[in-house]
Structure 1
């Protein structure tokens, strides 16, 4: 019995489970424990005042943060899901000029940090922003910096989650269902409303869930908007609680509890909606959806697509570019300049140090995360570990938990006095940033590697084991070579995400250890828009060049084989 429990697969499973608990589950549990026992992590075992949980409805800042988060989350979920679902439906059915640009924009929005998108909108719509300087639009400021305007901006940034969920569900179709409805007199709108939409309910729910979780946990937008418009949300108020004097751990714990509670309630609603219905409508008559040329309206779709692309990508990215190369001359307008780029490196500017620190943190997170994610995927794919479903769930938790909450948990866990005696007091050191980045990267790495590892026949490993190959040798000679391309992709994805992780780095960065997103955000808070835009483009360019270089160096090269004419 003991031998079976600690066989290779189970030993690996227990080790992986322990690492995931340490990186993800324990910090999250620490946030909840802090509410019940506020001083437990600092030597005080007194029971907490649970009435603090109700103070969120009494204290003006707490209540306003909760209300704003709910408003922003619900409003963005509704509009982003409708927009993403509608675009996915049109894109899957019709082919029109520029359609592939929409797909590219969707992925660009997903991989771009939200604070960069939000800063672009602030540069465009500020009282002296590009909209007023270049276009003379005075109304843009008052239209954007309102709750409705922020919901619109967030919807334009988050709709790709709903778009991808619905578009993936529309990959296959069963025409006979719609044909039967049309034979009975159903119009296209009626067919979609009564047949297609109900069958796509799981996809819409999944897309809406992703939009909601990413919106309520978003730290980038409120951090950027705070420079010109007061709109506190739970993530930003949690951050503020840690950077006030004295530090308000009680406030951070209570607000984190409500943030986690909101996400848990949203997930419960999704499970309730889907659990009593069946959506398995695909059969042998299912065919792959192919967009077709519309009989009319092709250029109208193309024009609408151009307008959408200008809104979702043109304004945020274009504003960063224009702000970085222009200088305001007051009433005389603006002129072109490269001064903002020169200031990045003057007098030992912070950009170089912040960029180097971010690259170091991201490289460490990618390597450690790749190691952890590899063994997580191995356990999920090849082992018979009894708790591998638990491993799967924990590996996805950090995708749902906001970075600010995870950062709070890391403070509680790694700021213990007894850890200093054994050399593991990581709070205030760069190592804690690597661990937090690993926790955030594990879901991405695991999903990439699990999909690739599923293609490796288990028989290869069994045959090697029968020939006497040990566990490590089987991995090194079979699994790793077959997954080389996936390992590179997963590692580079984790690297890129860690470089621009504003939420955890803003909470955990050590004194005098600036990172790239912190440098950009602090310049933005000081209203140095030109400097922030130049730092964003310069840092982003270096990161993209680094990723492309390593992809070229590490990914397997295609070998061209000459055709032999020998008989």
Structure 2
């Protein structure tokens, strides 16, 4: 490895690590335990973990077929479709939240239809949190899976087809097993992104304790009232995210290597 790579690599690592060090320096570590065990903090943490888990499952159910379509389809306009799917990666989350609000809100065409036909109001509910998290997190899964499909090629699927396997059988017995390592890695990224989602959530779901106030929103609320508590909760969020990535991602990468 060229030694010169250590210079930008060190700078990149410092850019990521030093802000966290700044939080640690700012915090009275002796008070952290009492600050993170409040009812509001524990409720926000529980809500974050539950909604992130459900949104990750939604990403898998919806994102796997979408990734296969993007990687294998030859229909016209697939590049445009791919750009639209990846749009949440570049959109500010607040813009995504506004888009969801004007789609599913009372005055949105789909929200109005749901309200009239089923009496359902989506915004400012826990369901809205899950939808917002899925909106911003699913592209991470789709990118991981589509990249794995394209780099792996389709020779195994073509062989299965020439042997008489139907398309659904090819997908279930060939494509899906090949995707499993990348699926694990993409699911971890989606969960971590959903766990830290803020902008789309507060715009589309609001900040109601026990209903829509996830841990990032609790940090924001506490920052206006008690900075020490906000910093402690921010450290808790960082620890949870690091644990999730450190525990799950190496296993996914190990599966990719095999």
Category of TM-score, reference length = shorter chain: 0.7 to 0.9
Aligned to 1:119: 98
Aligned residues: 251
The offset of 1:83, in angstroms, is: 1.6
Quote how far apart the aligned CAs of 1:156 are. 3.3
1:102 corresponds to which residue? 81
Match for residue 266 of structure 1? 244
Q: How does 1:422-501 map to 2 (within 5 A)?
A: none
What pairs with 1:69-468 in structure 2 (closer than 5 Å)? 69-127=48-106, 129-131=107-109, 137-138=115-116, 139=118, 142-171=121-150, 172-176=152-156, 179=159, 183=163, 187-225=166-204, 227=206, 231-244=212-225, 247-249=226-228, 251-267=229-245, 268-275=247-254, 278-279=257-258
Q: TM-score, normalised by structure 1?
A: 0.39
How many Å separate the matches in 2 of 1:115 and 1:178? 43
Give yes or no for contact 2:128–2:205 (8 Å, CA) kept in 1: no
Pairing 1:31–2:9 present: no
Provide, for residues 96-145 of structure 1, a one-character-per-residue CA deviation record: whole Å limited to 9, x for no partner.
35433311202322211111111222244344x23499769445752344
What is the rounded CA distance, in whole Å, between the counterparts of 1:102 and 1:274 in structure 2? 28
Name the SS for the 2:189 alignment partner: helix
Please state how far the C-alpha of 1:75 moved relative to its aligned partner.
Answer: 1.4
Q: Distance in 1 between matches of 2:126 and 2:146?
A: 29
> Structure 1 residues 113, 193: closer, same or farther in 2, change over 3 A?
same
Q: Deviations over 1:289-321 (max 9, x none)?
A: xxxxxxxxxxxxxxxxxxxxxxxxxxxxxxxxx
> Which one has a larger percent helix, Structure 1 or Structure 2?
2
Cα RMSD of the aligned pairs, angstroms, is: 3.4
What are structure 1's unaligned runs of at least 5 residues? 1-8, 39-46, 280-567
Does residue 51 (structure 1) correspond to residue 51 (structure 2)? The answer is no
Distance 1:60 1:17, change over 3 A: same
Query: How far is the alpha carbon of 1:89 from its aligned partner?
Result: 0.6
In the TM superposition, residue 228 of structure 1 has moved relative to its aligned partner by: 7.9
Per-residue CA deviation, residues 477-530 of structure 1 (Å, 9 max, x unaligned), is xxxxxxxxxxxxxxxxxxxxxxxxxxxxxxxxxxxxxxxxxxxxxxxxxxxxxx
Higher alpha-carbon Rg: 1
Alpha carbons of 1:188 and 1:61: their partners in 2 closer, same or farther (altered >3 Å)? same
CA contact 2:129–2:212 (8 Å) conserved in 1 = no
Gaps of 5+ in 2: none
Structure 2 residue aligned with 1:367: none
Shift of 1:70: 0.8
Partner of 1:347: none
Once the two structures are superposed, residues 139-162 of structure 1 have per-residue CA deviations (whole angstroms, 9 ceiling, x without a partner) of: 575234432343134323432221
Q: Deviations for 1:335-394, whole angstroms, at most 9, x for unmatched residues?
A: xxxxxxxxxxxxxxxxxxxxxxxxxxxxxxxxxxxxxxxxxxxxxxxxxxxxxxxxxxxx
Moved more, 267-276 or 76-85: 267-276
Shift of 1:79: 1.0
Deviation at 1:86, TM superposition (A): 0.8
Question: Is the partner of 2:121 in helix, strand or coil?
Answer: helix
CA distance in 2, matches of 1:140, 1:104: 34
Q: Displacement, 1:277?
A: 6.4
The CA distance in 2 between the partners of 1:147 and 1:198, in whole Å, is 33
SS of 2:30 mapped into structure 1: coil
Q: For each residue in 1:150-192, what CA deviation from the matched residue of structure 2 results, as whole angstroms up to 9, or x when unmatched?
A: 3134323432221221111111425247635974x75544443
The alpha-carbon distance between structure 1 residues 192 and 49, as it changes in their structure 2 partners (threshold 3 A), is same
Q: Would you say the 8 A contact 1:161–1:210 is kept in 2? A: yes
Q: Which residue of 2 aligns with 1:17?
A: 10
- Shift of the 140–31 alpha-carbon distance from structure 1 to 2, 3 Å rule, reads farther
